[in-house]
Amino acid sequence: MGLDYSYELIALRGRTKQLVSALLTHLVPKDHDRLLAALGSGDEKLLQTVQRDDLESMLFEKGYDSLCLAFLFPSDDHLKEYGGIEEFADIEGNRVAVGCVWGSLEVGNNYIRFTATAATSSMSRLFEKSPSIRKTLTQIAKDAAADLLIFDDESDGNVLAVWPSEQQIKRPRGIGMSAENTQSLAELVRQMEKLPVESEKSKLDIKIDIDRYCAEQLAMAGTRTA
């Protein structure tokens, strides 16, 4: 199996639009425009109404609302070596386009969680090494008034809290994610034809678990919400 490293932002539910707005300036134009168009649809409907490509639509039909996004990151040595997507590069701003980054937004009653997951092992290693990517995700967290930004390198039971303070913390286990939801997006794409369609009840259960998960992850980081 490949590597599926990710960054994760946790914020209060009332900051959903602020979080998405914070993302917009760091996305390539096509992704910026489709998220902007869906921004007025409401917290829970935002990812349901966004325009999707064929792969995203097939995943959505099977109960997964993740989007294949391309981010723009200021160039550094690791990004130069990686290369990025030339056709979407921001030449004037010296920013490298990186995608597909699987973006998911989970909305609970009290909290939201946005996850940006690398689609390949090489991108996972880039996520780990690039100071520019970490700085960009940190800026998004600040602009979104998020309560926590973490980096998950799939270490056993631990994640790195990146912001507001850097520290190793435990990953909550047994709550916050259904069995389907813990699978990597890369694995889901590979097994797409075999995935069951989630029921409305299972989606509600996940929403409730997201609140429990976020609350426990914040507690482990020693972060209090306003």
pLDDT digits (tens, 9 = 90+) for 35-60: 999 887 776 677 778 888 877 878 77
- What's the rounded mean pLDDT across residues 143-157? 94
Predicted confidence (pLDDT) per residue in 156-177, tens digit: 789 999 999 999 999 887 554 4
C-alpha span between 85 and 211 (Å, rounded): 36
The answer, yes or no, to whether residue 190 has pLDDT greater than 80, is no
Residue 191 confidence (pLDDT): 52
pTM comes to: 0.84
Provide the mean pLDDT of the chain. Answer: 84
The pLDDT score that the predictor gives to residue 176 is 43
Alpha carbon distance 141, 147 (integer Å): 8
* Residue 154, both tokens: 């799939």
Say which residue the tokens 């092992």 belong to. 121
pLDDT on residue 201: 38
- Is the per-residue pLDDT at 208 higher than 80? no
What is the per-residue pLDDT for 173? Answer: 73
Cα gap 7→136, rounded to integer Å:
11
pLDDT number for residue 101: 96
Specify the pLDDT at position 187. 58
The pLDDT score that the predictor gives to residue 16 is 92
Q: What is the dihedral of CA 30, 38, 72, 53, to 10 degrees?
A: -50
Ordered strands of the 111-118 beta sheet: 67-74, 95-107, 111-118, 6-12, 148-152, 158-163, 167-170
Q: Are 46 and 105 in contact (CB under 8 A)?
A: yes
Q: What is the pLDDT of residues 89-137, one digit of tens each?
A: 999 999 999 999 999 999 899 999 999 999 999 999 999 999 999 999 9
For residue 195, pLDDT beyond 70: no
**Domain residue limits, the chain:** 6-221
Nearest Cα to 113, choosing from 142, 148, 137? 148
The per-residue pLDDT for range 7-34, each reduced to its tens digit, is 999 999 999 999 999 999 999 999 999 9
**In which band, very low, low, confident or very high, does the pLDDT at 224 lie, cut at 50, 70 and 90?**
low
Measured from the Cβ of residue 151, the count of other Cβ atoms closer than 10 Å reads: 19
